[in-house]
Amino acid sequence: MGGSASSNMDRKVIKALEQRARQILKARPAYQEMVDFYLTVFRRQIEWRDRLAVHPQAVDDEQRRACLAEGEPLVDRFDSGIESESLVDLWTEMKTVFREGNDALREAVEKVDAAEGAGDFMPAIWLLEYRPDSHEPTAEAADRIGVDSMLLETLTRAVTFPHWEKVAQAWLRGENLDEWRRFLCPTCGSPPGLAEDRMDGPAADGVTASPRRFMHCSFCGSRWVVPGLVCPTCDSTTSGDAKYYFTEDEPELRIDFCKSCDHYVKVVNADKIGGRVHVGLELLTTVHLDAIAHDKNLRPIAAGS
Ligand SMILES: [Zn+2]
Ligand SMILES: [Zn+2]
């Protein structure tokens, strides 16, 4: 049933991921423990991809264009078709991975299990209702269960991400979505987690390469093209408002920020890392950039445009 073709592909994806992880750790060895743990999570997500029960409502090119032209993310109009049982199966699997992690992770899983046993927490409902804009429910549930809300969110996203990624792939089919031109995710409506700059190679008609900016959604893995010279938060196009920071030892990373509204986005230069940008790994290993941005009183890119 094409199993070997898909596992060949999986091996390639995992290999590329490990290669980028080595590159990152060379520059930033402090991330070692975290990267090792998350590589386990990512590998498990990739291995499970074919087993996930996700049957997104069919959306043809015309329907997609019409929906996006009205400024609506696709999830507002079409059914994601994510099955609750599939979410729970991966949840069970991920709990095993977390249990084998460090003490904090193990303890978090124990508390989740205890709450579930006592009938205070229902993973099937939790996972199905978990949406990109539901940070407050996460904090409320974490409080009730007695776990750190970041840990609960990490565990939850480890499960929901591969499901939503399948939905995004079915709906976007690798298109750049030039007609969208917005900063919110065209699939799920989240604010973008990360930007990617990449030179588009010389086209067949001989036109020279041109730089393009993409955004990545950390909730569903969507990737789409956006205008490079507009602030995602306040729409400023004043060239003096666009500023950035970068360091010599990490030439592939930078922080772009807007002087007018003080919002920033982390940017990965795809040509310099020489491959596909894996949003989960990049976000995880650029926490030091958030600290720099925070020190400079900048805020992450916000919803609303
Ligand atoms: Zn999304
Ligand atoms: Zn701005």
**Spacing, Cα 192 to ligand 2 middle (Å):** 15
**Spacing, Cα 204 to ligand 1 middle (Å):** 31
**How many domains is the chain partitioned into structurally?**
2
Residue 58 lies inside a defined structural domain of this protein: yes
**Spacing, Cα 205 to ligand 1 middle (Å):** 33
Closest CA to 171 of 52, 56, 54: 56
Q: Which residues of 228-266 are buried (b: 16+ CB within 10 A; e: fewer)?
A: eebbbbbebeeeebbeeeeeeebebbbbbbbeebebbbb
Amino acid at 221: G
Nearest ligand, measured from the Cα of 240: 2
Nearest ligand, measured from the Cα of 231: 2
112 and 222 fall within a common domain: no
Residue 18 lies inside a defined structural domain of this protein: no
Cβ atoms of 167 and 82 within 8 Å: the answer is yes
124 and 85 fall within a common domain: yes
**Spacing, Cα 237 to ligand 2 middle (Å):** 9
Per-residue pLDDT band at 207 (split at 50, 70, 90): low
Residue 38 lies inside a defined structural domain of this protein: no
Residue 37 lies inside a defined structural domain of this protein: no
Q: Which backbone phi and psi does 31 adopt, to 5 degrees?
A: -85, 0
**Spacing, Cα 301 to ligand 1 middle (Å):** 14
**Spacing, Cα 268 to ligand 1 middle (Å):** 18
Closest CA to 112 of 92, 132, 137: 92
Give pLDDT, residue 305: 39
Give pLDDT, residue 162: 97
The domain of 99 spans 52-172
Residue 200 lies inside a defined structural domain of this protein: yes
Strand 263-269 to 194-200 pairing: parallel
Per-residue pLDDT band at 215 (split at 50, 70, 90): very high
The per-residue DSSP string of 257-300 comes to EETTT-EEEEEEEHHHHTS---HHHHHHTTHHHHHHHHHTT-EE
**Spacing, Cα 305 to ligand 1 middle (Å):** 15
Nearest ligand, measured from the Cα of 217: 1
Residue 186 lies inside a defined structural domain of this protein: no
**Residue 234: which CATH number?**
3.90.1670.10
**Spacing, Cα 182 to ligand 1 middle (Å):** 12
Strand 263-269 to 210-216 pairing: unpaired
Centre a 10 Å sphere on the Cβ of residue 112 and count the other Cβ atoms it contains. Answer: 25
State the average pLDDT over residues 279-301.
92
221 and 291 fall within a common domain: yes
Predicted confidence (pLDDT) per residue in 16-46, tens digit: 999 999 999 998 999 999 899 989 999 999 9
147 and 201 fall within a common domain: no
164 and 202 fall within a common domain: no
- Listed in sequence order, the DSSP H helices in the chain are 3-27, 32-48, 61-69, 84-99, 103-117, 123-129, 135-145, 149-172, 270-273, 279-284, 287-295
Predicted confidence (pLDDT) per residue in 219-246, tens digit: 999 999 998 878 888 888 877 777 888 7
